[in-house]
A and B are shown apart, each in its own frame.
Chain A
Amino acid sequence: MPNERIVGIDLGTTNSLVAYMEGDRPVVIPGEDGLNLVPSVVALDENGQIVVGSAARKYLMETPERAVYSVKRLMGRGVEDVQVELRLFPFRLADDLAAGEVLRIKLGDKTFTPPEISAFILRQLKRNAERYFAAPVTKAVITVPAYFNDAQRQATKDAGRIAGLEVLRLVNEPTAASLAYGLDKKNAETVAVYDLGGGTFDISILKLHEGIFEVIATNGDTHLGGDDVDNLLITIALHDIQGDLAVDVRRNAEIVQAIRKAVIDAKIALSSDEKTSLDVELPGGKRYQREITRAQFEQLIQPVIDRTIGPVRQAMKDAGLTPKQINEAVLVGGSTRIPRVRQLVQELFERTPHSGLNPDEVVALGAAIQAHILAGGSEATKEMLLLDVTPLSLGIESLGGGVVKIIHRNSTIPASATEHFTTGVEGQTNVAVHVVQGERELASDCRSLARFDLKGIPPMPAGLPRIEVKFLIDANGILHVSARELRSGKEAEIQVQPSYGLTDEQVENMILDSFDNAEEDFRRRQVIEARNEAETMLTALEKGRKNPAWPQLSSQERSNIGKFETALRAVVKADDYQAIRTAIDVLNQGTMHLAELMMESAVGTALKGQNMDTADVGEGPESPHPIAQAEIER
C-alpha cells in the first residue's frame, strides 16, 4: 500500500472535484456541504476574504463584480487571445495590465492572475481532502484538457504550486476518464472518449491492451463547451428583451447573471423534459418570460455542437481508424447529458455511446487512479500504465517565418528532439530561438511558447559554432530545453522567456503571498470568533441580571462583574485578539458564581418537568461560557 496520500483533482471549468483511491475503488471526497462538486467560482467577500464554491455563487448573483467563474478559459493565455472571451464572459481585467504581462482579473478592489484564482479552488479541494483524512495533503495529480498547450499546462502546474500542492502529474482528462472506465477491462479494444465539458472539448482515441492505455490520437478545442451553449442562449434572451420589452440590460451584470442562471436551468431541464420556460425579473417590474421546446433548443445549439465534428474526424484520421474499428465510444463531461450531443456521438461512431459512470465525476475518479499508480499502486492497478501523447506539434521558427516541426502531434510522451544551430555573423555570441506549438505553416499562426537566447557562444567565424539544443516534452506535456555548444563543449546558457506564463520568481512570490494571507486569514478569523464569543457573553450577562440568581450575589461580586463587563466592552471592537481573549477570560471567572447559582435554579426548573438537556448546557469542559446557558433557558 502506498504510504502517502496522493489525491486526484479534476480542476474543471464549471465544477471541480477531488478524489482518491479507497481500497480498490476511487471515490470522490465531498465538501463540508456534503456535495461532491465544488463549483469553480471564486469571490472576494466584504471583509476581503476569498470565498470558493457554492458559497461564492451567492456573490455571482448579488455582486458579480466581486466574483469570477470559468477562469479556466483564461489559463495560460495572453490578452490578445482572450478578446472573444472578454465579449462573452463578465471577466474584468485589471486596468493597469502591461503588454505581455500575465492577465490579472479584478475581484472587488483586488486583482489576481488566473493561476492564483485556480489556486483558490485547489486550496479549497485540498482543505476538503484534509478534513476528510484529518491529515495534511501535499501531493496531487491534476487533470487538464488533452488539447491544452504548453502554456495552459504550465499555468495549471503553477496553480498547484501556489495552492501548496506538489503536482506529481498533469493527466489529460479523457485519458483519466478511460482509466476509470477501464479499471475492470482486461480485453484488448479501441476506445474513443468524447469529452464535452463546461468550457473544453477533447476527443481521444485509445488502445487498451493488458492494462496499457495507449493514446493513439487526440484532438479538441480548449474553448468549446457548455459555456458556449449558455452564452448563445443568453445572447438570444438579451436580444429578445431588447426587442420585445425595449429594455437594454446588457450592462446590468446582476440581470445578466440572473438570465445566465435561468438559461442554465432551462438547458438542464431540456435534457429530460420536452419543454421548459424561462422567467426572469427585470428592472421596472417587467418580466422576461419565454417557453422553449427541446426541438427549438436543439436547433439553436446545433452550430455549437457541430464544432466537435472536425476534431473528431481529424483524430480518427490521425489514428488511421474508421468508426467501425472503434469498439466503444465513451461520454465524459456534463454537456454530454444533452440528448442531441449523444445523438451526434452515435452518428459519428455508428454505435450507442457508453455512459455508465457519472460524466461529472469520471475524470476525477480517473485522476485518483493515476495518483494511486504514481504512489506505487496495488493489486487493482498493478498492470495499469498510461501512455499519452502531445496534442500539438512543436516547431521552431525558421528564416522567413516558417515553422520547422521537430516533434509531431500525437507523439507518445515523453518525447524529444535534438536540433543544431549555428551563427550567421562572424563573432556572434547569441542565437535567438523561437519555439512554437501548433499545426500551421507560419510561426505567426502558431502559439508562441517561448523565445530562447542561447548566450555565451565563444566568438568564432560565422557558421562554425555548433549548438545542440535538446527539446524534451515530459509526461505532463510540458517542454524542457537544454543546450550545448559542441565545439567548445560549453553548456550554452539559455534564457527562457515564456510567452504567456508566470516566471518562477512570480510563482514563488504568490506562494509566499498565500502563506502570508493564510496567517492573516487565521488571525482575522480568531478576532472574529473571539468577538462573537464576547457578544454572546454580554447578551447572556444582560439576561443573567434579570435572573432570580442575580440578587443572591454579594455586592462585591456584582460590582466586579460590572467592572469586567466594562473592560470587555472597551476592547471588543478593537482588532486585538489577545485583549478580547483576556477580557473574556476575566469576565468568565467573575461570573462563575452567578453561573452556578443559575445552574441550580435551572436544575430546579428541570425537576419541575423541563428538558434536562437545556439545563445541561454549560457543564462540560468544552462548553461555551456557563453564562450562555441563561440565554438558552429563556
Chain B
Amino acid sequence: MALTEHKKPEQPDSGILVVNQSRPTKVNCWSCGAMRAAHFCQECGKVQPPTPVDYFTFFGLPFRLNLEPEKLEGEFYALSRHLHPDINAINSDREQQWSLEKSSQLNDAYRTLKDPITRTEYLLRLQGVQLEEQSKAATEEARRTGKIKKQVVPPDLLEQVFELNMQLEEMRMNKKMGEPDRTLERELQDSRKQLQDKYNGLLQELQAAWNQWDGLIDRAEQGGSVLEEDRIAVRDTMVDVLNRRSYLSNLLRDIDEVLES
C-alpha cells in the first residue's frame, strides 16, 4: 500500500500571526468552578482539559524570539508540578487522560522553544514557511528519480566546499587503507575551524534578525502598525540564515565523522 507524505496546503500569507492575539484564556475550572484556570485551576489545583494552542501561547508568551532560558525552565518546572501524570496518578481516568495530553503538550512546547534553532523554525512554520516539508519533498523526489538530493550550496562557500569534499573523500580512503595522512588531517582541521567561524557568524546574523522580528512584535503589541513587507523581509532573512546554517552544520558533522572515525 502506498504511503505518501501529505503536503500541507499553502497557508495564506497573512500577517495576523505577528499580533499576539492569544493570551491564556481564563475559563471556569470544571471541578470547582473558580475562574483563572488555563492549565490547572489556581484554586483547587485540578488539571484542565487540553486545548489546541501554539507553543508560545501555551507558555503565555508573545511570539518573540528572544527569551530568557532560565525563566522558561522555571515555568516548565512549575507547570510540570501540576500537569505531570505522576501528580495525577490516582485521579479519575478523565483527569489522567488530560494530564497525559497536557504534559505532552508542555514537554513538546518546552523542547521546541528552549533550543534557539527549533524555536526559530517553529515560529517560521507558524508564519506559513515549510522548512522541513521542502527538505522532505526534495528527499522523496531524489529517491523517486534516483538522483542525488540537490542541496543549494551557499554561493560564498562554493569554492571551499568543492575542495573540502575532495579532501574528505581522500581522508576516507586513507583511513580505509589505514594510512592516515597527518598533513591532510591538519588541513581538514583548519577548514573545520574556518567553517565553525562562519557558523558562529551565522548565529550572529540570526540574532540580528531575531531583534528585528521582536521589534515588529513589540510595535504590534503597543498598537502600532506593522508593514507587510517588513514582516516578510525579516521572515525571509531568517529562512535564508537557517538554510545556510543547516548546510554548514551538515558539513561540520561530515568533517567530524571523518576525523573521529
Residues in A lying within 8 Å of B, measured CB to CB: 2, 4, 168-169, 209-210, 212, 370, 373-376, 385-387, 397-400, 402, 404, 411-417, 420-425, 428, 430-434, 463, 466-467, 472-475
> Within the complex, which residue of B85, B111, B144 is in contact with A412, where a contact is CB–CB below 8 Å?
B111
Distance A522 CA – B86 CA, assembled complex (angstroms): 37
Report if A168-B104 is in contact (Cβ < 8 Å); known contacts: A212-B77, A433-B3: no
Those of B208-249 within 8 Å (CB) of chain A: none
The closest CB in chain A to the CB of B139 belongs to A402
Distance A402 CA – B90 CA, assembled complex (angstroms): 41
Distance A589 CA – B218 CA, assembled complex (angstroms): 98
Does A169 lie within 8 Å of B89, measured CB to CB? Answer: yes
The answer to whether the Cβ of B148 comes within 8 Å of any Cβ in the partner chain is no
The closest CB in chain B to the CB of A433 belongs to B3
Does A431 lie within 8 Å of B3, measured CB to CB? Answer: yes
Residues of B within 8 A of A474 (CB): 85, 100
5 closest residue pairs by CB, A with B: A424-B2, A414-B104, A420-B6, A374-B89, A422-B6
B97-113 interface code vs A (CB 8 A; 1 in, 0 out): 00011011101101100
B103-143 interface code vs A (CB 8 A; 1 in, 0 out): 11101101100000000000000000000000010011001
The answer to whether the Cβ of B150 comes within 8 Å of any Cβ in the partner chain is no
The closest CB in chain A to the CB of B107 belongs to A412
Task: Give 19 A-B contacts (CB < 8 Å), ordered by A residue.
Answer: A2-B90, A169-B86, A169-B89, A212-B77, A385-B81, A385-B86, A414-B103, A414-B107, A415-B104, A415-B111, A416-B104, A420-B5, A422-B4, A423-B2, A424-B2, A424-B3, A428-B2, A472-B101, A474-B100
The answer to whether the Cβ of B71 comes within 8 Å of any Cβ in the partner chain is no
Q: How far is the CB of B138 from chain A (nearest CB, A)?
A: 13
B66-96 interface code vs A (CB 8 A; 1 in, 0 out): 0000000000010011001111011000000
Does B86 lie within 8 Å of A386, measured CB to CB? Answer: yes
Q: How far is the CB of A461 from chain B (nearest CB, A)?
A: 13
Report if A404-B136 is in contact (Cβ < 8 Å); known contacts: A169-B89, A385-B87: yes
Distance A386 CA – B84 CA, assembled complex (angstroms): 9
The answer to whether the Cβ of B8 comes within 8 Å of any Cβ in the partner chain is yes
The answer to whether the Cβ of B16 comes within 8 Å of any Cβ in the partner chain is no
> Within the complex, which residue of A414, A423, A425 is in contact with B85, where a contact is CB–CB below 8 Å?
A414
Does A398 lie within 8 Å of B140, measured CB to CB? Answer: yes
Does A385 lie within 8 Å of B84, measured CB to CB? Answer: yes
Q: How far is the CB of A76 from chain B (nearest CB, A)?
A: 22
Distance A169 CA – B105 CA, assembled complex (angstroms): 20
Distance A122 CA – B144 CA, assembled complex (angstroms): 51
Does A421 lie within 8 Å of B3, measured CB to CB? Answer: yes
The answer to whether the Cβ of B1 comes within 8 Å of any Cβ in the partner chain is yes
Does B1 lie within 8 Å of A475, measured CB to CB? Answer: no
Distance A433 CA – B3 CA, assembled complex (angstroms): 7
Q: How far is the CB of B234 from chain A (nearest CB, A)?
A: 28
Residues of B within 8 A of A415 (CB): 104, 107-108, 111
Residues of A within 8 A of B80 (CB): 212, 385, 387
Residues of B within 8 A of A399 (CB): 3-4, 140, 143-144
> Within the complex, which residue of B2, B81, B90, B100 is in contact with A472, where a contact is CB–CB below 8 Å?
B100
With A2-B90, A399-B3, A413-B104 known, 8 other A-B pairs at CB within 8 A are A399-B140, A402-B143, A411-B111, A412-B110, A415-B104, A416-B101, A422-B6, A424-B2
Distance A386 CA – B86 CA, assembled complex (angstroms): 8
Distance A386 CA – B143 CA, assembled complex (angstroms): 42
> Within the complex, which residue of B3, B84, B105, B144 is in contact with A475, where a contact is CB–CB below 8 Å?
B84
Those of B1-42 within 8 Å (CB) of chain A: 1-6, 8
Q: How far is the CB of A290 from chain B (nearest CB, A)?
A: 38
> Within the complex, which residue of B6, B81, B105 is in contact with A421, where a contact is CB–CB below 8 Å?
B6
Distance A143 CA – B81 CA, assembled complex (angstroms): 22
> Within the complex, which residue of A425, A431, A433, A475 is in contact with B86, where a contact is CB–CB below 8 Å?
A475
Does B108 lie within 8 Å of A416, measured CB to CB? Answer: yes
The closest CB in chain B to the CB of A371 belongs to B89
Does A421 lie within 8 Å of B4, measured CB to CB? Answer: yes
Distance A415 CA – B108 CA, assembled complex (angstroms): 6
Question: Taking each of B104, B107, B143, which has the highest tally of chain A beta carbons within 10 Å of its own beta carbon?
Answer: B104
Residues of B within 8 A of A432 (CB): 1, 3
Residues of B within 8 A of A421 (CB): 3-6
The closest CB in chain B to the CB of A474 belongs to B100
Q: How far is the CB of A449 from chain B (nearest CB, A)?
A: 16
Residues of A within 8 A of B81 (CB): 212, 385
Question: Taking each of A212, A373, A463, A472, which has the highest tally of chain B beta carbons within 10 Å of its own beta carbon?
Answer: A212
Residues of B within 8 A of A400 (CB): 140, 143-144
Does A420 lie within 8 Å of B8, measured CB to CB? Answer: yes
The closest CB in chain B to the CB of A466 belongs to B6
Residues of B within 8 A of A412 (CB): 107, 110-111
Residues of B within 8 A of A416 (CB): 101, 104-105, 108
The closest CB in chain A to the CB of B88 belongs to A374
Residues of B within 8 A of A413 (CB): 104, 107
> Within the complex, which residue of B3, B103, B111 is in contact with A398, where a contact is CB–CB below 8 Å?
B3
Residues of A within 8 A of B107 (CB): 411-415
Residues of A within 8 A of B8 (CB): 420
Q: How far is the CB of A128 from chain B (nearest CB, A)?
A: 24
Residues of A within 8 A of B111 (CB): 411-412, 415
Distance A516 CA – B197 CA, assembled complex (angstroms): 71
